[in-house]
A and B are shown apart, each in its own frame.
Chain A
Amino acid sequence: MADTKKLAIIASQGTLDWGYPPFILASTAAAMDMEAVIFFTFYGLPLLKKEIDAKVSPHSNPAMPMKMPFGNKDFQSVNWQIPNLISANVPGFDNMATMLMKETFKKKGVATIEQLRSMCQEFGVRFIACQMTMEVFGFEKEDFIDGVEFGGAATFLEYAADANISLFI
């Protein structure tokens, strides 16, 4: 189709909360008959690992609502105010917050990141891993899922130059 719209995304963050938007938008774009490319760079690169171990860090997200995924509706709607002293210093706090977020997402019928990532690939979304970041952080091609392309800024920009939508996430 001559009129195919193009979406270009740079995924630069790898926490659970920042990891969702690139995959949500790219998979939906593809479902809307658009072309989509995600360029994974800096901390976004680990989102291409075979096992995604993304976590969320409430300490670095002061506006993040802390909700419990269990109990009755009133209990679940409570926004827990956690002092920085606790979120920054209690060992395993991020793990707990990550577990709670994943459980909440599951209960609300939100797809997992892995699910969205594989649907992206199924729909033909292209994933480009930043070669420079791989060198810097010591990643090998074998660390990533199949079907990933490798390139640098120019590779992304060649595509993005013709994109209708370009997002830096």
Chain B
Amino acid sequence: MSEIVTKMELNCEGLNCPLPILKTKKAVDSLNSGEVLKMTATDPGSVNDMASWANRTGNELVAHTEAGNVHTFYIKKK
């Protein structure tokens, strides 16, 4: 995977639904259009939820990786 330039990092590890979504929303709101947020979460539900959130809000889920039980999401603000 090519390097993704991230503007901000958000750690949602250990948090459960709906906190990763709510915190992601707040973080993305603080970015400018085109900037990327890197969010990590351990909630398995966040995989589907992040996709749905991105789909609904129009922000782009650029990439999702998984290592152990940690999911990493790269979200580009629309």
> Which chain A residues have a beta carbon within 8 Å of chain B's beta carbons?
24, 27-28, 30-34, 108-111, 116, 119, 123
CA distance A27 to B43 in the complex (A): 18
Main secondary structure of the interface of B (DSSP, over half): helix
Bound complex: CA of A110 vs CA of B56, how far in Å?
23
Chain B interface, number of residues (Cβ within 8 angstroms): 15
B17 touches A33 (CB 8 A): no
Given contacts A31-B25, A123-B25, contact A109 B19 (CB under 8 A): yes
Contact assessment for A32 and B19 in the assembled complex, using a CB-CB cutoff below 8 Å? no
Interface residues in B1-24 (C-beta closer than 8 Å to A): 14-19, 21-22, 24
Please pick, from A24, A31, A33, A109, the residue contacting B43 in the complex, using a CB distance under 8 A: A109
A31 touches B22 (CB 8 A): yes
Given contacts A24-B17, A30-B25, 9 further A-B contacts (CB under 8 A): A31-B21, A34-B56, A109-B14, A109-B19, A110-B17, A110-B19, A111-B19, A119-B22, A123-B25
What B residues does A123 contact at CB under 8 A?
A: 22, 25
Q: Which residues of A contact B19 (CB under 8 A)?
A: 109-111
